[in-house]
Amino acid sequence: MTKQRLVAAIDIGGTNTVFGLVDLDGQILLKETISTAHFPEPEDLVHGVCEQIDLAMRLFDSKYVLAGVGIGAPNGNYFNGTIEFAPNLKWKGIVPLAKLFSNRLKVKTVLSNDANAATIGEMIFGGAKEMTDFILITLGTGLGSGIVSNGEIILGHDSFAGEIGHVIMFPDGRQCGCGRKGCLETYCSATGIKQTYADLLMSRHRDSHTKVQNGTAKYIYGKALQGDADAITAFNQTGEILGLALANSVAYTSPEAIFLFGGLAMAGDFIFKPTIESFERNVLNIYKNKIKILPSQLNENNAAILGAASLIIKALNIS
Amino acid sequence: MTKQRLVAAIDIGGTNTVFGLVDLDGQILLKETISTAHFPEPEDLVHGVCEQIDLAMRLFDSKYVLAGVGIGAPNGNYFNGTIEFAPNLKWKGIVPLAKLFSNRLKVKTVLSNDANAATIGEMIFGGAKEMTDFILITLGTGLGSGIVSNGEIILGHDSFAGEIGHVIMFPDGRQCGCGRKGCLETYCSATGIKQTYADLLMSRHRDSHTKVQNGTAKYIYGKALQGDADAITAFNQTGEILGLALANSVAYTSPEAIFLFGGLAMAGDFIFKPTIESFERNVLNIYKNKIKILPSQLNENNAAILGAASLIIKALNIS
């Protein structure tokens, strides 16, 4: 009997690393979570993860063979297989993580940033299966993005393409963590909508600011569900800016669809309706009523691991 | 003796159509200009052009064979080989121009819009020969663009990608011919800088407006060369906005270089200096001091025909 192929999928986060084994249909046969911060050296994390993978593969040995490893990581450089100066990790400088895994597991290993992994995940296992041109926007603490054109992810000459969250929307706008002002992600992200909501409250109740700052985007969503006018306005303002940004984005790559992923995208019509309304109002004529804005079809709990798995499935061309 | 391959190159413009025969080294063996407006039906233009090409090929017959036809045209759809609703042409609706040529000349024929043709021209014969990721900006009456990623031009799902001229820079900005406001090309183009210069003069001399409106971008360049403060300021303001737009653009595709082509780009330091200064000031950290902003290396007189030739040379993979 021919053995079926599995891939190892690893998602490196600032707090936790999630890893697992995934088959070519996207079935997750193993999923584990360990603390990234627990490993001051990347070699130690690689050792720990590989021990677990080895053990699991021995259990699966009769039916499966390990075909490769895919890694999603902050500041991941696909070309070099490295994590480069990731501000949220303890590992400093340039970490050759793909090489550490491939040396240990003796299979091809690829690494990319989290947003690119999620994007390939959407293409292999999600809503973009039949698409060659689409954009994925991740709405989390910040705004990440991956752009697929001609069936390939756009990496750019240095693997750092797809930073739509850092398009400057308002040159004198909100201070961004990148040091500049008015970046899209200062408005359209969990952080952004919290600020917008706080600003709306502040304009009427001077004392409510602190409370909102400690809340979450989910809290604002809950408020909107209850009919809170400020919460609904916060979603509308966020969608207005996001729609304009997406209208500008399609002038670059004319995608078939744009997928929204992450916490804010879970707010359904509260975010999709004003975004689509602003998009269609602001977009160039030739793109009007042609481009779908859709929720990601990946389950948020498994998106990171399926994204990492997709990276290697795509690289091996075995989907 | 094996015959060398030639391609026919055709650039359809609102006023004139330029066509010719080009070898794989970019040598132009024939170049002719005819009036597009003279042909109310596209079939008549195709007939006229093909007669000339047939005649020339008979002269070259002993040494050359026709390998294909490349066409640059306004509103060109690469996937369908059609010109679609081009506002500057007499031919209305959808014109299957590539098919008309391939039926007549019995060789593969490809068609794309002018900016994409110029972009492939830069890749095959210009400054981007060794590049897989770059952007070309054409600064003419409007602002056109072509984006190359992973060695391929980004066409998008409908062949209408690469409209950077219609990114909205200022939501309440200048009226654009597309019906919206604040598009990049209303500021950064020959038309845009004329408006900027006129606005600068108007702010001091109420009577000078008409005169400037009848001038050209070249006139403003001449003024700048003479040290005219308003002309120099007009270039600086144009470069400031262009630099910001390019800083935003690289967040999409992280190119190795951006080439500027066309009349305004001929103004040298007057436009490049403020553009580069603004670009480096506005660009995200990870892209700083990495991305070259360069003048196109194609001679403006031959760029259109070399661009059209490049389309088919690239499609046949014979460069």
Q: Which residues of A touch B248 (CB under 8 A)?
A: 167-168
Assign domain A4-114+311-316 to its CATH architecture. 2-Layer Sandwich (3.30)
Residue B132 sits at the chain A interface (C-beta within 8 Å): yes
190-249 of A, contacting B, C-beta below 8 A: 244, 247-249
CB contact at 8 A, B69 and B108: yes
Residue B251 sits at the chain A interface (C-beta within 8 Å): yes
Residue B131 sits at the chain A interface (C-beta within 8 Å): yes
Question: Does the ipTM exceed 0.90?
Answer: yes
Contact criterion met (CB < 8 Å) for A255 and B156: yes
pLDDT in single tens digits along all 319 residues of chain A: 689 999 999 999 989 999 999 999 999 999 999 999 999 999 999 999 999 999 999 998 789 999 999 999 999 999 999 999 988 899 989 999 999 999 999 999 999 999 999 999 999 999 999 999 999 999 999 999 999 999 999 999 999 999 999 999 999 999 999 999 999 999 999 999 999 999 999 887 765 555 555 568 899 999 999 999 999 999 999 999 999 999 999 999 999 999 999 989 999 999 999 999 999 999 999 999 999 999 999 998 999 999 999 999 999 999 8
Contact criterion met (CB < 8 Å) for A150 and B152: yes
Q: Does domain A127-297 have CATH number 3.10.20.740?
A: no
Distance, C-alpha A311 to centroid of its chain: 13
Which residues, at least 6 apart from B218, have a Cβ–Cβ distance to it below 8 Å? B263
Of A164, A242, A254, which to mutate for an interface test with B (greatest number of B Cβ within 10 Å)?
Answer: A254
Residue A287 sits at the chain B interface (C-beta within 8 Å): yes
More confident residue, B208 or A162: A162
pLDDT of residue A209: 53
Is the pLDDT at B208 greater than 60? The verdict is: no
Q: Tell me the fold of B4-121+301-316.
A: Nucleotidyltransferase; domain 5 (3.30.420)
- Chain B CA closest to residue A257: B157
Contact criterion met (CB < 8 Å) for B254 and A179: no
Cross-chain CB nearest to A160 (options B156, B171, B254): B254
Q: Which residues of A touch B180 (CB under 8 A)?
A: 282, 284
Domain ranges of chain A: 4-114+311-316, 127-297
Cross-chain CB nearest to A252 (options B150, B161, B285): B161
153-172 of B, contacting A, C-beta below 8 A: 154-164, 166-168, 171
- The share of chain B scoring above pLDDT 90, in percent, equals 89
Alpha helices in B23-107 (DSSP H): 42-60, 97-105
Contact criterion met (CB < 8 Å) for B156 and A249: no
Of B79, B157, B244, which to mutate for an interface test with A (greatest number of A Cβ within 10 Å)?
Answer: B157
Q: A178 exposed, middle or buried (CB, 10 Å; 0-12, 13-18, 19+)?
A: middle
Residue B289 sits at the chain A interface (C-beta within 8 Å): no
Q: How many residues does chain B have?
A: 319
Q: Which residues of B touch A168 (CB under 8 A)?
A: 244, 247-248, 282
**Contacts across the A-B interface (CB distance below 8 Å):** 131
- Chain A CA closest to residue B286: A160
pLDDT of residue A54: 94
pLDDT of residue B87: 85
State the DSSP string of chain A.
Answer: -PPEEEEEEEEE-SSEEEEEEEETT--EEEEEEEEGGG-SSHHHHHHHHHHHHHHHHHHHTTTEEEEEEEEE-TTEETTTTEEES-TTSS--SEE-HHHHHHHHH-S-EEEE-HHHHHHHHHHHHSTTTT-SSEEEEEESSSEEEEEEETTEE---TTS----GGGSBS-TT--B-TTSSB-BGGGTSSHHHHHHHHHHHHHTT-GGGHHHHHTS-HHHHHHHHHTT-HHHHHHHHHHHHHHHHHHHHHHHHH--SEEEEESGGGGGTHHHHHHHHHHHHHHS-GGGTTT-EEEE--S-HHHHHHHHHHHHHHHHHT--
Is the pLDDT at B280 greater than 70? The verdict is: yes
Contact criterion met (CB < 8 Å) for A254 and B156: yes
Cross-chain CB nearest to B179 (options A255, A285, A290): A285
pLDDT of residue A208: 56
d(CA A295, CA A276): 12
d(CA A125, CA A9): 14
Same fold, A4-114+311-316 and A127-297: yes
Q: Does domain B131-297 have CATH number 3.40.640.10?
A: no
pLDDT of residue A150: 94
Residue type, A33: T
